[in-house]
Structure 1
Amino acid sequence: FFHYPYVDGMRWRTGDPTLRASVCSMPCQMGERKKIVKGVPCCWHCERCEGYNFQASEFSCELCPYEQRPDRNRTGCIPIPIIKLEWHSAWAAVPVFVAVLGILATSFVVVTFVRYNDTPIVRASGREMSYVLLTGIFLCYAITFLMIATPCLAVCSFRRVFLGLGMCFSYAALLTKTNRIHRIFEQGKKSVAAPRFISPASQLVITFSLISVQLLGVFVWFSVDPPHTVVDYGEQRTSDPEKARGVLKCDISDLSLICSLGYSILLMVTCTVYAIKTRGVPETFNEAKPIGFTMYTTCIIWLAFIPIFFGTAQSAERMYIQTTTLTISLSLSASVSLGMLYMPKVYVIIFHPEQNVPKRKRSFKAIVTAATMSGKLVQKGSDRPNGEVKTELCESMETNSEYFTLVDRI
């Protein structure tokens, strides 16, 4: 056979003079396991550990713990990075900008109302209920900052309390107002006696009774399931371990969120029903028309919120989309109430003070009589010529224009 000196002179067909290694399989690289060839114990194939597996030994791959992922060499596991919604993110910047504008506008309205607290237009708006409603609007804007803040025990606790409280304040006040209008006109069709519980004190008692139901539900939630933070590793557990992230969040599930907002949404729907029932009252009466438009618009906002919020449950951007959608919906609903109910009044107070004058007061008997007459005119409109109806309508316009001033003071 060939002697060693002749080996150096050998040339392979490929032209490569390198001596071939006399082995069955080459050593495996880091992150690869040896898979023995069946029937040939000294030969193997190299298989890379894929997914969330790492090379546990020369011949095996094992799955990393749920909160970890393999390192670059796949020879061990490292913790999955934890993320949260950052203040500088576009997902947070837009809601914060809207909330800041809303808080400034609400503060301006409150300051204006306090400064002109004894003027007719503020008194006719129902000062006590207005301040309750403005408090709810302020809380709807303020919850944005709690939803974006870094989750901790305190933040999670405040989220539970204030998440539905702003809406509850707003719609409890609006529901009490619309219910009051409805009862006044319904009573006017039956007798000249004023209905019960329409004084400012009674209205406050009714409103805070409705709000107390929300607070009671929150306290029960606290006792059954104390607030705490969690790290959700499943939300952004992608097929590529390098992109996997753990999401730091409060322990508020979608079901808990719906339960927290559910009572406020129930108040909103009930208020909308009363807004529809009072849609036929005179335009100048106690904000009936603006309240109606406010509730219709608010319902549209929340109907759009539901598919967006729950339609992104499987998205990798779920945390960002849902938080932004929720905060923007709360801010928009607050903006609708603020813009339709209070900005026109502030405009009159500041730019047209000549219109901020008291109306001539009338007795409750005159008010309910005019209310009954207004209802009769609607019924007669389909049976009588336009001229006759217009004549009766003109005779009652003066009375109708004075509804809101007195009834708001009853």
Structure 2
Amino acid sequence: MLFVVVLTDAEQCLQCPEDQYPNRERDRCLPRIVTFLAYEEPLGMILACAAICFSLLTVLVLGVFVKHRDTPIVKANNRSLSYTLLVSLSLCFLCSLLFIGHPTTATCLLRQTTFAVVFTVAVSSILAKTITVVLAFRATRPGSRIRSWLGSTASYSLIFTCTLIQMCLCGIWLGTYPPFLEMDIHSEVGSIIIQCNEGTLLIFYCVLGYMALLALASFTVAFLARNLPDTFNEAKFLTFSMLVFCSVWISFLPSYQSSKGKAIVALEVFAILTSSAGILACIFAPKCYVILLRSDRNTLEILKRKGTS
């Protein structure tokens, strides 16, 4: 610790080093406290535990779907897309761990880009699901040529294309103004905030805006298909999941602008966990309820009878 004594009759004062700040009497310098969202503090520990628990829960749901993959409710809701969505949701929960702990140059480069790409896979999977619901209903009409679009190839082509566009945006971001590690000594008196600077907010908002565009497209298609007379129609669940997703991130942006330091990191982690959990609950909770607790309703005869009535 460096002490600088300033006498009352001194002609000039000495400036404290960057890692120190003057006390109230301004007669000596005190060391600044290094702050970041650490695993050891209660908030960081709660968020990290929530991320791991939600990820394990998603893997458990995936195991349920794989075990009951030959049942009507799993088959009707496109098994391959359900698997892809569950895997991407599990990774979404885990990618929030990149935001917790001591920031480094590597984590600054990876946290936003990994989050963007993984979330794009999840949202584009939901978009593919919603489009499949609409096409499946139209394909039942006599002479329809839409059946050729119902295969997994078309769905995965859509997911690949959407993800590739997001990866290009992230590549431009990393190639022009990449995120970097910085130490903020001005936001809070007596503290050094170790944080990741996004480099450029323009591309950051472009990345978020692209995900919002995919979510809005999924919500619109699912909303229009919510009343289709189909026994296996999951458009209502997809609509509500996208409504939760959009609500969380619309609420996040104003809070992001008005927050500082580790509060920004905590808000983004909370938004990631909340939006992912909303998708998991809205889409897969009803199916798991039928599969695990009401197996008598998970038969083709019962579902056909309900559809006819």
| TM-score, length-scaled by structure 1 | 0.66
Q: Secondary structure in 2 aligned to 1:235? A: coil
For the 8 Å contact 2:231–2:304, the answer to whether it is kept is no
Distance 2:237 2:198 in 1: 35
| Offset, 1:166 | 3.0
Partner of 1:220: 172
Larger RCO, structures 1/2 (Cα 8 Å, 6+ apart): 2
| Offset, 1:221 | 1.8
Partner of 1:163: 115
Partner of 2:7: 32
The 3 A distance-change label for structure 1 pair 350 and 92 is same
Select the structure of larger CA radius of gyration: 1
The 3 A distance-change label for structure 1 pair 210 and 178 is same
Q: Secondary structure in 2 aligned to 1:336? A: helix
Partner of 1:276: 223
Q: Secondary structure in 2 aligned to 1:231? A: strand
**Structure 1: gaps spanning 5 or more residues:** 1-28, 35-57, 239-243, 313-317, 361-396, 403-410
| Offset, 1:200 | 1.3
User: How much identity, in percent, do the aligned residues show?
Assistant: 25
For the 8 Å contact 1:141–1:334, the answer to whether it is kept is yes
Partner of 1:380: none
Task: Give the alignment's Cα RMSD to 1 decimal.
Answer: 3.0
Is 1:341 the equivalent of 2:283? Answer: yes
Distance 1:72 1:288 in 2: 61
The 3 A distance-change label for structure 1 pair 300 and 73 is closer
Residues 76-132 of structure 1: CA distance to partner in whole angstroms, max 9, x if unpaired?
Answer: 767644322121323323322322331121011011122222333222221111111
Residues 373-393 of structure 1: CA distance to partner in whole angstroms, max 9, x if unpaired?
Answer: xxxxxxxxxxxxxxxxxxxxx
Is 1:300 the equivalent of 2:247? Answer: yes
| Offset, 1:271 | 1.0
The 3 A distance-change label for structure 1 pair 190 and 213 is farther
For the 8 Å contact 1:68–1:77, the answer to whether it is kept is yes
The 3 A distance-change label for structure 1 pair 195 and 138 is same
**Structure 2: gaps spanning 5 or more residues:** none
Distance 1:93 1:298 in 2: 24
For the 8 Å contact 1:69–1:79, the answer to whether it is kept is yes
Partner of 1:352: 294
Distance 2:235 2:158 in 1: 19
Q: Secondary structure in 2 aligned to 1:61? A: coil
The structure with the largest helix share of the pair is 2
Matched length = 304
| TM-score, length-scaled by structure 2 | 0.85
Distance 1:359 1:124 in 2: 14
Distance 1:115 1:399 in 2: 25
Q: Pick from 104, 114, 117: which aligns with 2:66? A: 114
For the 8 Å contact 1:136–1:167, the answer to whether it is kept is yes
For the 8 Å contact 2:128–2:159, the answer to whether it is kept is yes
**How does 1:10-409 map onto structure 2 within 5 Å?**
30-34=5-9, 58-70=10-22, 80-185=32-137, 192-194=144-146, 196-236=148-188, 238=189, 244-252=190-198, 255=201, 256-282=203-229, 284-312=231-259, 318-358=260-300, 401=307
Once structures 1 and 2 are overlaid, which stretch shifts more, 112-121 or 71-80? 71-80
For the 8 Å contact 1:91–1:320, the answer to whether it is kept is no
The 3 A distance-change label for structure 1 pair 226 and 252 is closer
For the 8 Å contact 1:82–1:231, the answer to whether it is kept is no
For the 8 Å contact 2:59–2:87, the answer to whether it is kept is no
Distance 2:206 2:183 in 1: 22
| Offset, 1:143 | 2.1
| Offset, 1:148 | 0.5
The 3 A distance-change label for structure 1 pair 254 and 351 is farther
Distance 1:359 1:223 in 2: 56
For the 8 Å contact 1:31–1:73, the answer to whether it is kept is no
| Offset, 1:73 | 8.7
Distance 2:15 2:230 in 1: 69
Distance 2:277 2:255 in 1: 20
Distance 1:338 1:179 in 2: 19
| Offset, 1:224 | 1.7
